Amino acid sequence: MEIIKNYLIVENKRWIIGSLLIAFLLLLPIAILFIKLFSEPGKNFSYLWDTVLIDYTFNTFYLIFITSFFTLLFGLFPAWIISNYRFIGRNFYDLVLFLPLAIPSYIMGFTYIDILSFTGPVQSFLRNTFPVLASYFNIDYLQIETLGILLGLALYPYVYTAARVAFSLLGSNYIDLSKSLGLSTIKSFYKIILPLSRPAIFSGLFLVFMEVLNEYGAVKYFGINTYTTGIFKAWFSLGDIGTAIQLACLLLLVVFFFFVLEKISSSKTKFFYETNSPVQRLLYVNKDKLLFFHLVCSIPFILGFFIPFVFIVNNVFQTYSSIDFVRLFTLSFNTIFVSSLSSFIIIIVALFFLFVEKISKTKINTIISHLISLGYAIPGAVIGLGLIMLFSNIMDSFFSVSLIGSFYVLIYAYVIRFLAVGKSPIKSSLEKHPESYDDTGKNLGLGPFKLLQKIHLPINKFALISAFILTFIDIMKELPITLILRPFNFDTLATQTYEFAIEEMLPLSSSYSLSIIVIGSMLLLFLKNVINKQLNVS
Amino acid sequence: MYLEVKNLVKYYNKELPIIRKLEFSVKKGEIISFLGESGSGKTTFLKCIAGLEKIHSGSISLNNVVLNDKGVFVKPQDRKIGFVFQDYPLFPHLNLEENIVFNLDKKYHKNLDYILNLTGLKYFISRYPHELSGGEQQRTCVARALIREPELLLLDEPFSNLDSAIKESMREEIYKIIKETNTTTILVTHDINDSLNIADKILIFKAGIVQQYDKPEKMYCEPANCYCAMILGDMNKLFIGSETYYVRPEKVEVVKKSNHKIKVEKCFFQGREYKIKGRYNNEIWHFFSNKSINENEEIFIDFKKIDLIYFDPVCKNFFK
């Protein structure tokens, strides 16, 4: 009775019911997996358990460890230097250090293996110039350690971005305080700044974990067995969906473990950036440090963007005559179409959920908002599997066949997987605005829809643009979901790049990878401009 | 009565109501100051009046219309109540004029020139919020509330974000505007000077209960309890027999000879006179003097019996 009474006095009921329905649709595929886990036991799970499961587990965690180490190495130090020091080239580095985000991990993997191969430019140069050294470099680079370093190069921008914002927003007070307490700059960094920025850095690192768990293209190319490749193998090679589901649920447990770790990290210590304190003053650099700073800032950019970019451009020139421009344009159009449409839907859904959470102030909406964000932590292969299970079980075969492999399901999967990417910038922008805007709006006669339309949409427009660009880039690079759920005869730049590369026809994939990189880079540079307008940090 | 609040109860945690049985009324055109410590529920009370928070029991009626009781809840947008928030929430994507006329009914557009003149904002209409000073932002918020001819104006700590240099002039300006428009107003503040300068009546609020609701001068001279006495200014403690009395610093005089000898601990120059801190019967006393007095000097003070205030013994705890 109490519940019914409470429900009756809840405001904005229609908005809340709408959000519950959409959340149900978003969580359903994952729920189906867990239901299936108990109803359809896999035939080959005990075989996997006896043979390769330990290998999968070790490889997955080892890869996460190496990648995390290198993302921290490539991300943290440039972020600290750029947030604190003024030197020639600083603005350039600040602009280009984001750019590896435009290169999908699998392209990074394919490209570097080609560069380092026996016929590649590095070994050819060494053979011609330093023949003695050449034999030391003629090794098998398809190793998990190499992949870890390459993933580190592709994914360090997540840590760089989080750390860069955290270091800049800390303000000068903490630095001044630590100096007045007698700490050197290096000690201030380790004892004050790093612990204070830990939640932000860990949230960046959490994204790296999730990307590694979700990685399929590069891991498959390197021949390393992880949970994600295991799911594909059980499903497509062994034809055993039950085992694929069991592996997917195991992977979800790993994801859940990292999720809890991230929550513990951010809840144990609550920090509030002193946004009202003066922005960190930039220090001039001594000449003796200048070279070191340039090295620290340029290495991630050169290795993470410049070298693969130049190599791919070179490949494009060399294979220019064999480029199928019609196909390239068709696939570019497909990619832009599906990424734009999905991103647009994601932004609307994300804004809807965040707005309902804001106006309803009920616990259930806060919980839902957290739950639907979990999609980003769920690997694409698991989401794909969940959706196929869902449609093949609840509908008759005619409808399920026509739905699976349609744009609807592909976009549905993208929304589940990338909703958190779209939500993040909108959420932080909404939180920046005081609650009194809503109260003032209501006091001046606005209902919820007009409040959204007349106040929140215009004042959060930069965040909406940022969210659109980030989801667009992520969807454009996405591989496992697209491979599993794309409509028949439908290719994107990502799938075409992967298919050529996996068939060892890397030069032919270059024009497609270059298109992904160019579109992504242009959007990232535009995004940087938007962020600079939105967030005036030094 | 114009505004009537009866037995209002509001809580977030049922065991610890933030407002318990609040009851008071306001006449048309009066300015009421709601005085209480930070976190005492003053803003929550204003939000209840405005309909931004729902009440758990009691009733609120304005101009003979029930706004909220057990069976009635008038939506915030239908209440004709203007609300000026503490942090001056002007919408950043709109300029000053657009902020003032935001979602404004056509019939009130005729008030724009009058309000702009009254608030002195005529020359800033195309400026955006970040181009306005704190005082200009505050006046814009007041203009935005007043242009709608509200039946009641709610001001939530309107001067707390202003520096002391402009606070006084802003207080006077806002007072002038409110009186000129004859708008019934509730001003919430924790600053006694705001209350004494503007309010026709002061309501002192503590632990969710009205402690006293009266005219400023009566409240100052005849506080209902020691909390009200303390919140309105310093009090000096005096023991006569087994009873404890209190006297205001300005009622204490420095004299050549009396029965009350005090040792001066500090002398502060305050522009017009000196404020003296001294120790009398092991209690700290404050009072004023025309002349500077040296530290550790022993002087005589006196006061009239009529100025002594007595409270029940339970209330003494508030002074600790």
pLDDT, one tens digit per residue, over B213-245 is 999 888 888 888 878 888 888 889 888 888 888
Q: B8 forms bridges with which residues in the sheet?
A: B22
CB-count burial class (<10 Å; 0-12, 13-18, 19+) for A496: buried
Identity at B16, one-letter amino acid code: L
Separation CA B310–CA B198 (nearest Å): 28
Q: Is A450 near chain B, with CB under 8 Å?
A: yes
Separation CA A511–CA A519 (nearest Å): 12
Nearest to B91 among A443, A450, A459 (CB): A459
Higher pLDDT, B77 or B104: B104
Nearest to B77 among A442, A454, A455 (CB): A442
Q: Is A434 near chain B, with CB under 8 Å?
A: yes
pLDDT tens figures, A198-253:
878 888 888 898 889 888 888 988 999 888 888 888 877 777 777 888 888 888 88
Query: From chain B, which residues contact A within 8 Å (Cβ)?
Result: 47, 50-52, 54, 76-78, 81-83, 85-87, 89, 91-93, 102-104, 144, 148
Q: Is A457 near chain B, with CB under 8 Å?
A: no
pLDDT tens figures, A389-421:
888 776 666 666 667 778 889 999 999 999 988
Nearest to A440 among B54, B89, B92 (CB): B89
Q: Which string of DSSP letters, residue by residue, matches B69-103?
A: SSS-B--GGGS-EEEE-TT----TTS-HHHHHTTT
Distance from CA of B143 to the nearest CA of A (A): 13
Residue B316 has pLDDT above 80, yes or no: no
The owner of tokens 């909390």 is: B227
Average pLDDT, chain A: 83
Q: Is A458 near chain B, with CB under 8 Å?
A: yes
Higher pLDDT, B65 or A13: B65
Q: Which tokens hold the place of A297?
A: 């800032």
Set of chain A residues whose Cβ sits within 8 Å of the Cβ of B82: 443
Residue A44 has pLDDT above 80, yes or no: no
Residue A268 has pLDDT above 80, yes or no: no
Identity at A384, one-letter amino acid code: G
- The residue-averaged pLDDT of A20-29 equals 90
Residue B194 has pLDDT above 90, yes or no: no
pLDDT at site A330: 94
CA-based torsion, B299, B304, B307, B313: positive or negative: positive
- CA angle at B243 for the pair B238 and B247, rounded to the nearest 5°: 30
Q: B269 forms bridges with which residues in the sheet?
A: B274
Q: Which of residues 459-478 of A touch B (CB under 8 A)?
A: 459
- Tell which of B91, B146, B154 to mutate to test the A interface (max A CBs under 10 Å): B91
Contact A439 B47 (CB under 8 A): yes
pLDDT at site B320: 36
Set of chain B residues whose Cβ sits within 8 Å of the Cβ of A437: 89, 91
* % of chain A residues with pLDDT over 90: 29
Q: Which residues contact B130 (CB under 8 A, 6 or more apart)?
A: B92
How would residue A538 be classed by pLDDT, with cut points 50, 70 and 90? very low
CA-nearest of A485, A460, A509 to A403 is A485
Contact B77 A434 (CB under 8 A): no
Separation CA B159–CA B87 (nearest Å): 10
- The residue-averaged pLDDT of A422-440 equals 85
Separation CA A374–CA A417 (nearest Å): 8
The single-letter DSSP state of residue A283 is E
Contact B82 A443 (CB under 8 A): yes
Distance from CA of A434 to the nearest CA of B (A): 7
Contact B76 A447 (CB under 8 A): no
pLDDT at site A274: 42
How would residue B286 be classed by pLDDT, with cut points 50, 70 and 90? very high
Higher pLDDT, B159 or B200: B200
pLDDT tens figures, A54-109:
888 899 999 999 999 999 999 999 998 888 888 888 889 988 998 998 888 888 99
Give this complex's ipTM. 0.72
Helices (H) then strands (E): counts for chain B = 8, 18
Residue A174 has pLDDT above 50, yes or no: yes
Exposure on the CB side of residue B147, measured as CA atoms within 13 A: 29
Q: Is A445 near chain B, with CB under 8 Å?
A: yes
Set of chain B residues whose Cβ sits within 8 Å of the Cβ of A436: 85-87, 89
Residue B198 has pLDDT above 60, yes or no: yes
Residue A303 has pLDDT above 90, yes or no: yes
pLDDT at site A10: 61
Higher pLDDT, A49 or B153: B153
How would residue B99 be classed by pLDDT, with cut points 50, 70 and 90? very high
Separation CA B219–CA B229 (nearest Å): 8
- Contact indicator for B30, B200 with CB cutoff of 8 Å: yes
Residue A278 has pLDDT above 50, yes or no: no
How would residue A371 be classed by pLDDT, with cut points 50, 70 and 90? confident
How would residue A471 be classed by pLDDT, with cut points 50, 70 and 90? very high
How would residue A275 be classed by pLDDT, with cut points 50, 70 and 90? very low
Distance from CA of A433 to the nearest CA of B (A): 9
Backbone phi, then psi, for A495, in 5-degree steps? Answer: -65, -35
Contact B52 A443 (CB under 8 A): yes
How would residue A302 be classed by pLDDT, with cut points 50, 70 and 90? very high
Average pLDDT, chain B: 87
Distance from CA of B130 to the nearest CA of A (A): 14
pLDDT at site A41: 63
Separation CA A339–CA A477 (nearest Å): 9
pLDDT tens figures, B40-61:
888 889 999 998 888 889 999 9
Q: Which residues contact B119 (CB under 8 A, 6 or more apart)?
A: B139, B140, B142, B143, B146, B173, B177
pLDDT at site A56: 87
Q: Is A361 near chain B, with CB under 8 Å?
A: no
Q: Where are the alpha helices (DSSP H) in B216-279?
A: 216-221, 226-231
Higher pLDDT, A28 or A6: A28
**Segment among A247-251, A279-283, A319-323, B106-110 with least mean pLDDT:** A279-283
Q: Which tokens hold the place of A163?
A: 């750390």
